[in-house]
Amino acid sequence: MSVSIHIVEDEQPIITLVKYNLEKEGYKVSSSDNGNEGIEDIKKLFPDLVLLDWMLPDFSGVEICKILKKEKKFKEIPIIMLTAKGEDEDKIKGLNSGADDYITKPFSFPELLARIKALLRRSKPSLVSDIVEFEDLKVDRLTRRVFRKNKEIHLGPKEYDLINFFIKNPKRVYSRDQILENVWSDNINVETRTVDVHIRRLRQSINIDGFKELIRTVRSAGYSLN
Amino acid sequence: MSVSIHIVEDEQPIITLVKYNLEKEGYKVSSSDNGNEGIEDIKKLFPDLVLLDWMLPDFSGVEICKILKKEKKFKEIPIIMLTAKGEDEDKIKGLNSGADDYITKPFSFPELLARIKALLRRSKPSLVSDIVEFEDLKVDRLTRRVFRKNKEIHLGPKEYDLINFFIKNPKRVYSRDQILENVWSDNINVETRTVDVHIRRLRQSINIDGFKELIRTVRSAGYSLN
DNA sequence: TAAAATTGTAACAAATCTGTAACATTAAAA
DNA sequence: TTTTAATGTTACAGATTTGTTACAATTTTA
């Protein structure tokens, strides 16, 4: 099921732009160009998230926000306020409209997207994926699940951390010390060779008979995901 | 995807110069000429790296730096401070602004570029390749892979170090002692002739039938990559 | 609390790499 | 051409690096 986002905004170009980009990201986007319809549409469509213009011709964004946040049913919908540059940010925050985040126009789309994802992660974690893939290996960071050839694989904590580290920079060779620093993080009073043993365990877990070995040993240098 | 760099600097000539050169290197460059806009632009554009003038008409570079490093989202962006010659370097470092590197004006562009690459290599290694080529020989230092005519070649550690040393200065002739010093580094209690044997092994590995011999023997002088 | 899972280390085996010496070949000098 | 010096080649023992396993200690889960 795809995530639905509703935009209430009177400037058509902004709607067009945001809508285009969000749809490209796979969201279902609807919009209203005034506050009155905005309220109605939101109640009718019950979107997963709302982008609300601060300044609307009729209702102000704050009012809509307050109305929504008053009703139990709609209170959970995350709202991002779109504010113009001149409007004092402190004042906006002070008004306590109940909005969950603000973004100042003009904004870049990646920034907006980042904020949308952040909010969705909070309210509807199951709808926002954070999946990294490398060839036939897939790591879902939200659920901490790992798949090889779409078959789930059980990994212990350290094994998960390890593969999660390698998959950030596939193909790059890391020395045992680098791996220790990054995966064991804090207390590095651990033998270098311990890395080897965990690599071995990871290999056992992620390798399927007949398929390519994913972890390369680079003699006197370290390991890499390949 | 190309790497984006944002410059905050009030001296227009510097912006122009740096921008021109960085764009020639393939970076996407944006700029602000004062601190206020600087902060805003950085938050909006979310660049991969920031060049920050130490002295700005309004905000000081240190302040901007501190602001950015305070926010989790921006903390990871590497920052290079541009300082004027008079400013005491120790004092700058002492201020602990959180900048990742400093460079003193006037600086040479290659020097700046080297620092930029070094930082990017740390934060976004996948965006900075470190590949050296000589004719049909290619050494990828990140993955530690070596190719001849685009076919991968396996080299042992010493052979890799050797070719990696030669490729830094192709055509230059090195004596056996120089090679020992540079490739064996620390404990040079190794026979000079050992170099010959490794050269022989390297040759065997990198030579493909029918193609040019890459390592030249310079009698009574040493070897070179040719 | 008991059972299961995870973790770090040590010990040994296996694979690979290294340095050396001995001999062969080649190039320069006499 | 002969002699001499430099380099090429090879084999091999020893050193180094990595793989693998077992085990005890610790942490997590049931």
Residues B145 and B38 both lie in one domain: no
Give per-residue pLDDT as tens, B22-76.
988 889 899 998 888 888 888 878 889 999 988 877 777 788 888 888 877 788 8
Position B3 scores a pLDDT of 86
Strand C lies under 7 A from the Cβ of residue A157: yes
Which positions in strand C are less than 7 Å from the protein's CB atoms? 5-11, 16-22, 27-28
Position B90 scores a pLDDT of 56
Q: How far is A208 from chain B (nearest CA, A)?
A: 24
Strand C lies under 7 A from the Cβ of residue B111: no
Which chain B residues have a beta carbon less than 8 Å from that of A171?
142-143
Give per-residue pLDDT as tens, A18-50.
998 888 888 999 999 888 899 999 999 999 999
Between the CA of B220 and the C1' of D6, what is the distance in angstroms?
7
Position B88 scores a pLDDT of 61
Contact at CB, B143 and A221, closer than 8 angstroms: no
Partners of A140 in the beta sheet? A131, A145
Residues B121 and B177 both lie in one domain: no
Q: How many CA atoms, within 13 angstroms, populate the side-chain half-sphere of residue B155?
A: 33
CATH code, A133: 1.10.10.10
Residues A161 and A109 both lie in one domain: no
Number of domains in chain B: 2
> In the predicted model, what is the mean pLDDT of residues A112-117?
86
Residues B107 and B137 both lie in one domain: no
Q: Where are the alpha helices (DSSP H) in B61-156?
A: 61-70, 72-75, 89-94, 109-123
Residue B8 has pLDDT above 90, yes or no: yes
Domain-terminating residue out of A99, A127, A155: A127
B111: left (phi over 0), alpha (psi -120 to 50) or beta: alpha
Between the CA of B138 and the C1' of C26, what is the distance in angstroms?
31
What share of chain B has pLDDT > 70, as a percent? 92
Instruction: For residue A90, name the pLDDT band (cuts at 50, 70, 90).
Output: low
From the list B45, B126, B142, which residue is nearest A108 (CB)?
B45
Q: Which two tokens stand for residue A36?
A: 């009155």
Residues A9 and A95 both lie in one domain: yes
> In the predicted model, what is the mean pLDDT of residues B167-188?
88
Position B171 scores a pLDDT of 93
Position B137 scores a pLDDT of 95
Strand C lies under 7 A from the Cβ of residue A184: yes
Mutation pick from B144, B146, B147, B159 vs chain A, by most beta carbons of A within 10 Å, is B144
| C-alpha separations of B160 from A124, A220, B145 in Å | 50, 11, 9
Residues B63 and B79 both lie in one domain: yes
Position B92 scores a pLDDT of 56
Q: How far is B148 from chain A (nearest CA, A)?
A: 19
Cis status of the peptide bond prior to A106, with omega within 30 of 0 = yes
Between residue 136 and residue 155 of chain A, the positions with Cβ below 7 Å from nucleic chain C are: 154
How would you class A126 by CB atoms within 10 Å of its CB: exposed for 0-12, middle for 13-18, buried for 19 or more? exposed
Which chain B residues have a beta carbon less than 8 Å from that of A219?
156-157
Residue A93 has pLDDT above 60, yes or no: no
Contact at CB, B44 and A106, closer than 8 angstroms: yes
Which positions in strand D are less than 7 Å from the protein's CB atoms? 5-11, 16-22
Mean pLDDT of chain A: 86
Residue A143 has pLDDT above 80, yes or no: yes
Mutation pick from A105, A111, A134 vs chain B, by most beta carbons of B within 10 Å, is A111
Interface of B with A (CB under 8 A): 43-46, 73, 125-126, 142-144, 156-157
Residues A31 and A111 both lie in one domain: yes
Strand D lies under 7 A from the Cβ of residue B190: no
Contact by Cβ (8 Å): A34, A80: no
Domain-terminating residue out of B94, B127, B160: B127
How would you class A209 by CB atoms within 10 Å of its CB: exposed for 0-12, middle for 13-18, buried for 19 or more? exposed
Q: Which two tokens stand for residue B21?
A: 């050169």
Position A153 scores a pLDDT of 92
Rounded distance between C-alpha atoms, residue A87 and residue A99, angstroms: 16
Residues A22 and A81 both lie in one domain: yes
Residues B137 and B106 both lie in one domain: no
Between residue 186 and residue 215 of chain A, the positions with Cβ below 7 Å from nucleic chain D are: 193, 196-197, 199-200, 203
Q: How many CA atoms, within 13 angstroms, populate the side-chain half-sphere of residue B196?
A: 8
Query: Is B59 or B173 the better-scoring residue by pLDDT?
Result: B173
Strand D lies under 7 A from the Cβ of residue B217: yes
From the list B43, B125, B156, which residue is nearest A169 (CB)?
B125
In terms of average pLDDT, the best of A145-154, B105-114, B115-124 is: A145-154
Domain-terminating residue out of A83, A109, A127: A127
Three-state secondary-structure class, residue B191: coil
Residue B116 has pLDDT above 80, yes or no: yes
Query: What Rg value do the Cα atoms of chain A yield, rounded?
Result: 23
> In the predicted model, what is the mean pLDDT of residues A170-193?
88
Burial B150-171 (b: 16+ CB within 10 A, else e): eeebebeebbbbbbbebbeeee
Contact by Cβ (8 Å): A58, A79: no
Residues A161 and A176 both lie in one domain: yes
Mean pLDDT of chain B: 86
From the list A111, A171, A220, which residue is nearest B143 (CB)?
A171
Position A71 scores a pLDDT of 86
Which chain B residues have a beta carbon less than 8 Å from that of A89?
none
Residues B34 and B81 both lie in one domain: yes
CATH code, A55: 3.40.50.2300
- Closest residue in chain A to residue B140, using alpha carbons only: A172
Instruction: For residue A88, name the pLDDT band (cuts at 50, 70, 90).
Output: low
Residues B123 and B135 both lie in one domain: no
Range of the domain at A170: 129-225
Burial B73-88 (b: 16+ CB within 10 A, else e): ebeebbbbbbbeeeee
Query: Is B170 or A100 the better-scoring residue by pLDDT?
Result: B170
